[in-house]
A and B are shown apart, each in its own frame.
Chain A
């Protein structure tokens, strides 16, 4: 058996609008069981990216809903025609066992998952996840986005990202 393909790509996002546009491009390519891990400091734009992605999927069904920050509730779940979307913020977790209590490991199999502060997952991070790291650029206005993933399921996403780069 050949090793699963690995993907790597960096993109400059000059503005919050560019981050939202990128999220909107990725959104329709995601399906149940695909997990995006969103990495970056406070204010890096993780929630902004997740919100734009979720609102794109809701808008495709003619829905307009608030996508609140999940920092306090830990998880927000959205029901959509293509299955559930789980938006999680693990900042407040202190132990990976709490990830299981939240039901997140099950959701990794069945839902589209967007996970902020994925370092809290420890060994529970799914192997075939897409890791997006967001860092402020030199101006502070824009962001550098780095995508990394393993697994053939991410090929369409990287094809779309490559076309955008």
Chain B
């Protein structure tokens, strides 16, 4: 365990361009620097911020963020053991920019280059921040993702289930939009919900009646829309209290679904008798205090450790990519052939994608 490894990570698979330097020393990971550009676009608003979709925008920023990350860490290229780059999944233009840049850097410096799955980056983060041992259960829950994974090794994940339609973060943003709140929706809906009565509007708990860990959040927004319209039809408008009650009912529904599905995922995971059972929750939605409190209680009841990495390492960043590179390096993975971009790249190829055709849960 005396091995010391220092990796540069590069991430450009979605809105943000990021670079970071992470070091493994004495068995623990340390983030020496983590630079993210375009953070405002991350709270990505449905009504205004220009998404940094352009490959060109990434290409223009990649060398700057990389130079800054090396600078802040006080590291030269020659001090590195390798470079890790997000090779997917994500927007093809962004991923390609990152991969091409990293290939150039690796060729110029003679450093090994490892391709990293963006989702593996998220899923391995609890080992960087909390030193979790394999296997642990991971709930990735953000604007664009929602899935349960058992992390078994740096390159081995079992998907227990996930959303068959929208991610919860997206549902929060869209509900905020439907109720005339601003963006990002998560914190605003949460603040409204705190003033509301969760029992006044009872919204559906999609797929709770079915076995398994799959979830559906798309139908919730239709339900909110209908409840809103019936209040407006009845009273000619929406009071502040109505809005707070709608938010409270919505948040209660999301929390109930996530908690019950987490219970089932934990059951399946604990049945494997892990030595140190732990649930790690990563993603912006983990910042919602009602959801977090529910999951913390659940873990306490089941005797499972609960962790949630800090938000800066849960949202898109390159430290998780550098760390995933270090993890791969440690298990002996070395560059093989030319790295190409993979816009679609499931973490677990073996898992069934979803139940049925989504006919019941996924509402129009």
| Chain A contact residues, CB within 8 Å of chain B | 13, 15-17, 19-20, 42-45, 47-49, 51-52, 55, 59, 64-66, 68-69, 71-78, 91-95, 98, 101-103, 134, 136, 140, 142-143
**CB distance A20 to B359 under 8 Å?**
yes
Chain B, interface SS category: loop
Interface membership of chain B positions 329-363, coded 1 if the CB is closer than 8 angstroms to chain A and 0 otherwise: 00000000000000110000000111001110011
- CB-CB under 8 A from B344, the residues of chain A are 76-78
A69 CB, nearest partner CB in chain B, Å: 5
Q: Are A64 and B364 in contact (CB under 8 A)?
A: no
Cβ of B259 under 8 Å from chain A = no
Contact B221 A43 (CB under 8 A): yes
Tell me the chain B residues, 56-109 only, with Cβ under 8 Å from chain A. Answer: 56, 90-93
Are B48 and A17 in contact, CB atoms less than 8 angstroms apart?
Answer: no
Contact of A73 among B55, B91, B352, B362 (CB under 8 A): B91
Q: Which residues of B contact A (CB under 8 A)?
A: 14, 44-46, 48-51, 53-56, 90-93, 143-144, 162-167, 169-170, 174, 177-178, 218-219, 221-222, 224-226, 229-230, 343-344, 352-354, 357-359, 362-364
User: Could you tell me the distance between the alpha carbons of A124 and B363 in the complex, rounded to whole angstroms?
Assistant: 30
Closest Cβ–Cβ distance, residue A61 to chain B (whole Å): 13
Instruction: State in angstroms the CA–CA spacing of A143 and B226 once bound together.
Output: 13
What is the chain B residue whose CB lies nearest that of A72?
B144
CB <8 Å contact, B229 and A140 = yes
Chain A contacts of B224 at CB under 8 A? 43
- Known contacts A51-B362, A55-B358: does B178 contact A42 (CB below 8 Å)? yes
What would be 13 A-B contacts, judged by CB atoms less than 8 Å apart? A19-B364, A44-B364, A48-B363, A49-B364, A68-B166, A71-B174, A72-B14, A72-B170, A74-B91, A75-B91, A92-B45, A93-B51, A94-B48
* Chain B residues, CB < 8 A from A98: 50-51, 53-54
Residue of A55, A71, A74, A140 with most chain B CB atoms under a 10 A cut-off: A71
Tell me whether A95 and B50 are in contact (CB under 8 A).
Answer: yes
A13 CA / B363 CA spacing, docked (Å): 12
Bound-state CA distance A101–B54 (Å) is 6
- The minimal Cβ–Cβ distance linking B142 to chain A, given in whole angstroms, is 8
CA distance A98 to B163 in the complex (A): 28
User: Quick one: given A15-B364, A72-B14, A72-B170, are A66 and B354 in contact (CB under 8 Å)?
Assistant: yes
Q: In the complex where A43-B174, A52-B357 touch, is A92 in contact with B364 (Cβ < 8 A)?
A: no
Tell me the complex Cα distance, A73–B352, Å: 22
Q: A47-B165, A77-B344 are in contact. Are A69 and B50 (CB under 8 A)?
A: no
Measured CB to CB, the nearest residue on chain A to B13 is A73
